[in-house]
Amino acid sequence: MPINQPTIADNGIVRPTHVEIDLDRLTDNYQAIQKVVAPATVMPILKANAYGHGLVAVARHFATLGVPYLGVAFLEEGILLREFGITTPILVLGGILGNQVPLFLDYDLTLTASSVEKLTQTNDAARTMGRTAKVHLKIDTGMERIGVHYYSAAELLETALACDYCQVEAIFSHFANSDAADLTSARTQLARFNEVLDFYRRRGLPAPRRHMANSGAILQMPESHLDMVRAGILLYGVYPSDEVQRTIPVRPALSWKSQVVYFKVVQPGHPVSYGSTWQSDHMVRVVTVPVGYGDGYFRSLSNHSEVIIRGKRYPVIGRVCMDQMMVNIEWESAYNGDEVILLGEAGNATGEKVTITCGELARWAGTIPYEILTNINTRVPRIYLGGDE
């Protein structure tokens, strides 16, 4: 089944614009989260190319750590991991179509049963194939995305008890506002989920494994950790919002780098880039960097963002192009081949760290950190440091 595979750099010459992923930081973040949520376990979420970090390599790394489960968004992501030899249990979190069920069984993937109809289709397909389908039941407690509504969930749970060809491993829901300062909505959702779970208590039955906490709830709602948590952006060292309490120390695993490929002097009154949106009233030195919105460096960052060169921050000027952008270094020095930090940190002349965070890029672009990471194009090579890579 076709899917865009991540570009992984080898040991030869790679494109100047690339991403570096520190696998040891991923380990540290995972262990920090696990320590806080224990005895609950941690499911790393790997959707959207592992939040831009590289689906296959990151999955392999977490598999070596012995994680109990991996989470992806789509069937195709799960199939790709299986084809690359990942044997860890994998939950596909997204909605499914009935004709996809045989592929879940063929590739030993766990599906999300989000309605009575889909659960029945799954049971019928498994019976036909002489197999047992692994499912997690999805309850909608207020997201209004997929899942049976909490107030009508009993029918799904009753149906699941009668599905002889389905192994119900877990039941779960998803928070809409767990990364907000005001947790009223999130607490209401958790209360609704607990009401649904009373179904099992009333019948004297053990509940399946329960999971609801995403990154915001991991940080702010220990009462929601239950049996397992789903660690997404927090696992990669980025906090989900500016409002969230930073109760677990994590560090970014991803750095985005490029190099200076051209240097010029620009005369006063000479506009830079498409649309002539920037010009100087004095002579300046401008360098060109081979990265653009075709790589995921948003066009909305034009005239708003900064990069780090030689330990100092400089502004991006003019419109970001598809493959290149320009940086104003005023009358300071930079040379072809100098490293340019788009996202990450570098030391300056006094030994201090100069950093551009994912949150800063998101604010400059008018978006959220999730979009910054997941939009780094797969044409940008990934280089892995540490771990076993």
Closest alpha carbon to 193 in 171, 178, 161? 171
- pTM value is 0.93
- Could you tell me which residues come within 8 angstroms of residue 256 by beta carbon, excluding any fewer than 6 positions away? 17, 18, 19, 341, 342, 343, 344, 376, 380
Amino acid identity for residue 226 in this structure? L
Q: Which residue bears the tokens 């790709």? A: 80
Say how far apart CA 357 and CA 344 lie, in whole Å.
6
Say how far apart CA 58 and CA 61 lie, in whole Å.
5
Structure tokens at 183: 């947790």
| Cα dihedral 76, 227, 158, 117 in deg (nearest 10) | -20
pLDDT of residue 350: 82
Contact 386, 23 (CB under 8 A): yes
The residue extents of the domains of the chain are 23-236, 254-356
CB count, 10 Å around CB of 286?
23
Structure tokens at 31: 């262990």
Say how far apart CA 148 and CA 120 lie, in whole Å.
14
The residues annotated with a catalytic role in the active site are: 47, 274
Rg (CA), the chain: 24
Q: Which residue bears the tokens 């595979």? A: 5
Say how far apart CA 61 and CA 54 lie, in whole Å.
11
Say how far apart CA 358 and CA 255 lie, in whole Å.
10
Closest alpha carbon to 50 in 265, 181, 238? 238
Helices (H), the chain: 23-37, 47-51, 55-64, 75-83, 101-106, 116-129, 154-162, 184-202, 215-220, 358-365, 369-374
Say how far apart CA 13 and CA 233 lie, in whole Å.
30
Structure tokens at 378: 């797969």
Element (H, E) at 205: none
Could you name the CATH architecture of 254-356?
Beta Barrel (2.40)
Burial of 162 (C-beta count, 10 Å sphere; 0-12/13-18/19+): exposed
pLDDT tens by residue, the chain, 389 residues: 334 444 555 555 578 999 999 999 999 999 999 999 999 999 999 999 999 999 999 999 999 999 999 999 999 999 999 999 999 999 999 988 878 999 999 999 999 999 999 999 999 999 999 999 999 999 999 999 999 999 999 999 999 999 999 999 999 999 999 999 999 999 999 999 999 999 999 999 999 999 999 999 999 999 999 999 999 999 999 999 999 999 999 999 999 999 999 999 999 999 999 999 999 999 999 999 999 999 999 999 999 999 999 999 999 999 999 999 999 999 999 999 999 999 999 988 788 899 999 999 999 999 999 999 999 999 999 999 998 64
Q: Could you tell me which residues are beta bridge partners of residue 92?
A: 72
In degrees rounded to 5, what are phi and psi of residue 169? -80, -30
Q: Which residue bears the tokens 């995403």? A: 214
Q: What CATH class is the domain 23-236?
A: alpha beta
